[in-house]
Amino acid sequence: MEKMVKFLTMGISKSYHTPVNIPPEIRVNIIAHWAGRILLPLLGWKTEGRLPEMPQYVCIVAWHTSNWDFPYGLLASWIFRIHTSFLGKDSLFHGPLGWFLRQLGGIPVERSHHHNMVAAAVAAFKTRPHLVFAIAPEGTRRKLDHWKSGFYHIALQAHVPIVLAYIDYGRKVCGFGPMIYPTGDAEADLAKIREFYSTVATKHPELKSEVRFKTADTPMAPDHSPNT
């Protein structure tokens, strides 16, 4: 028994930080928490940073170039005891798979139109006082010349901050970085995001997408001119 205990605990994360007071609505159970603390270090990874003390926010996770990003990110979220939500195609939410995706925080949405996803997320923020949306801003593992602007529109319309989370393959670290409030000046806000992720190593550097939006997707900066 003693040898078994040593084996099970030798991989427990040494970089674990006590989570902030997470509301029950977005807190994972203790079993998942300990599973993350054991499994992630056994895979050679660790965590760093602290969760923001905010009841609602959009959490973008970059970079997304590998299928491994999801399990690493999921285990890290369990260590931090944060239960994140995400949007998924409604066609996936059927039968056992649908049940499983909902347990992971999935929210089904009809994805034929970009605005449907943004509207669904904004509506969720209005009805749930405690909600963390996790989004891969690239929207795909393929290399693109832009990021999807959905996360920005969601945060801007829901009036919630954007937290920059990362999966750094160079240091084998998953963590939480700074938090920014979208101003509506997308170029200025993206400059801050771009600078932060410039030092984060991805698994496949050749697949990194450019941190910019398509011109048609760029929100207009707020008008600060005086009324006439």
Q: Would you give per-residue pLDDT tens digits along the chain (228 residues)?
A: 454 444 444 445 555 555 567 777 888 889 999 999 999 999 999 999 988 888 999 999 999 989 999 899 999 999 999 988 887 777 778 888 888 888 888 878 776 555 578 888 899 999 999 999 999 898 778 887 788 888 999 999 999 999 999 999 999 999 999 999 999 999 999 999 999 999 999 999 898 888 888 875 555 544 443 443
d(CA 90, CA 105): 14
Inter-residue contact 91 to 50 (CB < 8 Å)? no
Structural domain boundaries of the chain?
24-45+56-206
d(CA 165, CA 197): 9
Region of 47 please: left (phi>0), alpha (psi -120 to 50) or beta.
Answer: beta
Inter-residue contact 158 to 56 (CB < 8 Å)? yes
Asked whether the whole model's pTM tops 0.85, one would answer no
Residue keyed to tokens 């990021």: 147
